[in-house]
């Protein structure tokens, strides 16, 4: 269904934390005014040109944020815009268009279902809403939804519409409300998104004239027959007999929340002939059409699909330094849901991209799932006050040979080295993860990468967070690691050699190789050869190897 219906009760939509920003009144007035102006421009652009510069789901989230900020700062004096003000037309609808409450989550759906009788579910088709008036089975009037009471006359487009929409299978006088949509054969919403399908229809309707070829892929989903049969099954069957079968094909009775959740998932992930952005719940008993009013209706509600894109407010930015010295900015924000996953942080990818985006606490960003799995930052849509701007680490201070000890500024990379050493590519130490190394470091028991090798069970017992049993298990893991073969130790220490290259059984045999000798090995080019020589010649690495030899570690 069109965005216009979705606007009516945007304030129930969950997207943001309920806490208010710590803004001065002047700052709040400016920020809320900027957001109000942006939303008003989007409304005017959509209603005048039939095109939207922003996706429906992001529009809804901006609108929800605007309402939240107004509630946070009621004294700013920023006048609330009317989303449908520019949509009002000169023609009065025979029956007003009602809107849809938005159900925030599973709990809201359960609450809505409670105490209701027979309920049906339909996909929430992503198109444009209209009133269709038939006389003697022929479509004689087509009215845009407008503000729900008055709309624009689209009747000039009737001759171009497909024949199945222009003329019913029987000579009937009736008034219908429904969604003009763009047919998308075998469209899977979870994979492809809405593909701007609604805007295609809105753009066509905004033209003065359209050709039959332009309109060939238009279709109709009827969601209201004001004076039709009260029983939904009868209503859908009669519409199908009139040549309008979509309502019957895509309507199902539901008896429980489990039924609702199952159909929502099914339609979200299965091929459909249209884009959709959620499901609609309809109770069978509806009031007479004479009592319908523009606004929300108590007999229907929408439960949207998970966001494909989400608006998030940045709470913090920190910088993770990896084992090789790579700096990765991490953006933290209030939790949002993407494809039924709750996301709290996202990587900016690289320090360079973070600088290009210039993301700081207080900024509003758009995130999405790359490849349907990995959160990513798409853009910054509004800058924060920059009162708490963060400064990144100096990239030149970190590289593949830095931070072999936890000196100031080196803890992150040092811990990353330990995590790699204990991982599957290294010593494969069970139960030893980042938290283990951080506790040992905070307890002052790690002054070098091999500082744990000589620790005894009693040394571990006094460390906060290690009970007697866990201390013994950790000590057993340390003892087992000491007996691992040389090749595992070498890989764990981060030798920059190709994975499949045999490393032999002696550190000395590797440390004595020249650049030319390394290039004789398969997969080792000039650059890799220089990296290997630099690794073995680094004073910290040589000192580490000597200490491991003193601990009688194999190969050292």
At 495, list the tokens.
């030798």
Classify strands 119-125 and 276-283 as parallel, antiparallel or unpaired: antiparallel
Residue 433: helix, strand or coil by DSSP?
A: coil
Give counts: helices (H), strands (E), the chain.
20, 16
| Chain centre distance of CA 504 | 47
Place of tokens 């319908």: 292
Q: Which of 515, 521, 520 is nearest to 498 (CA)?
A: 521
Rounded (to 5) percent helix, strand, coil in the chain: 35, 20, 40
Kind plus residue range of the DSSP H or E element containing 205: helix 197-206
Spatial CA neighbour of 314 closest among 259, 357, 269, 284 = 357
State the burial class of residue 476 (Cβ atoms within 10 Å of its Cβ: 0-12, 13-18, 19+). middle
Residue 140 three-state SS: strand
What does the alpha-carbon distance between residue 96 and residue 51 come to, in Å, rounded to a whole number?
24
DSSP classification of residue 21: P
Closest CA to 177 of 272, 12, 297: 297
- Smallest CA-to-CA distance from 175 within 91, 251, 119 is with 91
Could you write out the three-class secondary structure of 437-459?
HHHHHHCCCCCCCCCCCCCCHHH
Encoded tokens for 44: 């005017």
Tell me the longest C-alpha to C-alpha distance in the chain.
Answer: 99
Long-range contacts of 446-452 (CB under 8 A, 24+ apart): 446/406, 446/418, 447/405, 447/406, 448/404, 448/405, 448/544, 448/547, 449/404, 449/405, 449/414, 449/417, 449/418, 449/421, 449/493, 449/544, 450/544, 450/547, 450/548, 450/551, 452/478
Tokens of 446: 């790690």
Active site residue 124: yes
CB-based burial label for 216 (10 Å; 0-12, 13-18, 19+): exposed
How far is Cα 250 from Cα 297, in angstroms, rounded to an integer? 21
- By the 8 A CB rule, do 232 and 284 touch? yes
DSSP labels, 456-490 = -HHHHHTSTT--HHHHHHHHHHHHHHHTS-HHHHH
Nearest partner of 226 among 146, 288, 138, judged by Cα: 288
Catalytic residue among 102, 124, 200, 304: 124
Active site residues: 124
């Amino acid at each position: 269904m069109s965005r216009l219906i979705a606007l009516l009760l945007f304030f129930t939509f969950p997207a943001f934390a309920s806490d208010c920003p710590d803004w001065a009144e002047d700052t709040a007035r400016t920020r809320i005014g900027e957001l109000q102006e942006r939303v008003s421009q989007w409304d005017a652009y959509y209603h005048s040109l039939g095109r939207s510069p922003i996706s429906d789901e992001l529009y809804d989230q901006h609108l929800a944020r605007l309402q939240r900020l107004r509630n946070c700062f009621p004294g700013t004096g920023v006048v609330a815009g009317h989303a449908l003000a520019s949509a009002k037309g000169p023609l009065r609808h025979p029956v007003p268009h009602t809107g849809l409450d938005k159900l925030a989550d599973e709990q809201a759906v359960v609450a809505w279902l409670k105490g209701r009788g027979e309920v049906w579910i339909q996909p929430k088709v992503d198109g444009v809403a209209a009133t269709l008036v038939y006389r003697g089975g022929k479509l004689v009037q087509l009215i845009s939804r407008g503000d729900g009471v008055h709309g624009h006359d689209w009747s000039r487009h009737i001759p171009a519409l497909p024949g199945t929409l222009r003329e019913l299978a029987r000579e009937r006088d009736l008034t219908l409300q429904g969604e003009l949509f763009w047919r998308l054969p075998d469209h899977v919403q979870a994979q492809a998104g809405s593909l701007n399908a609604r805007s295609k229809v809105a753009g066509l309707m905004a033209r003065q004239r359209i050709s039959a070829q332009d309109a060939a892929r238009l279709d109709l989903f009827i969601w209201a027959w004001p004076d039709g049969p009260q029983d939904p099954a009868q209503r859908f069957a009669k519409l199908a007999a009139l040549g309008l079968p979509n309502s019957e094909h895509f309507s199902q009775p539901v008896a429980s929340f489990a039924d609702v959740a199952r159909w929502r998932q099914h339609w979200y992930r299965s091929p459909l002939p249209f884009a959709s952005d959620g499901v609609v719940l309809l109770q069978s008993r509806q009031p007479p059409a004479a009592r319908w009013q523009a606004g929300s209706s108590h007999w229907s509600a929408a439960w949207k699909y998970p966001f494909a894109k989400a608006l998030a407010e940045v709470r913090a930015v920190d910088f993770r330094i990896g084992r090789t010295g790579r700096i990765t900015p991490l953006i933290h924000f209030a939790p949002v849901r993407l494809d039924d996953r709750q996301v709290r942080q996202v990587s900016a990818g690289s320090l360079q991209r973070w600088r290009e985006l210039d993301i700081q606490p207080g900024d509003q960003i758009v995130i999405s799932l790359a490849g349907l799995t990995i959160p990513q930052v798409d853009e910054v849509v509004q800058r924060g006050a920059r009162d708490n701007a963060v400064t990144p680490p100096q990239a030149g201070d970190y590289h593949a040979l830095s931070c072999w000890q936890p000196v100031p500024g080196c803890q992150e990379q040092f811990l990353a080295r330990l995590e790699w050493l204990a991982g599957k590519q290294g010593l494969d130490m069970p139960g030893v993860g980042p938290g283990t190394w951080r506790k040992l470091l905070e307890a002052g028991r790690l002054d070098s990468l091999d500082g744990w090798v000589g620790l005894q069970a009693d040394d571990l017992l006094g460390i906060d967070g290690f009970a007697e049993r866990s201390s013994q298990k950790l000590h057993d893991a340390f003892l087992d690691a000491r007996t691992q073969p040389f090749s595992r130790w070498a890989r764990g220490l981060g030798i920059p050699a190709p994975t499949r290259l045999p490393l032999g059984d002696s550190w000395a045999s590797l440390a004595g190789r020249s650049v030319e000798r390394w290039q004789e090995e398969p997969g080792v080019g000039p650059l890799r050869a220089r990296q290997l020589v630099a690794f073995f010649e680094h004073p910290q690495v040589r000192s580490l190897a000597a200490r491991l030899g003193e601990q009688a570690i194999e190969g050292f």
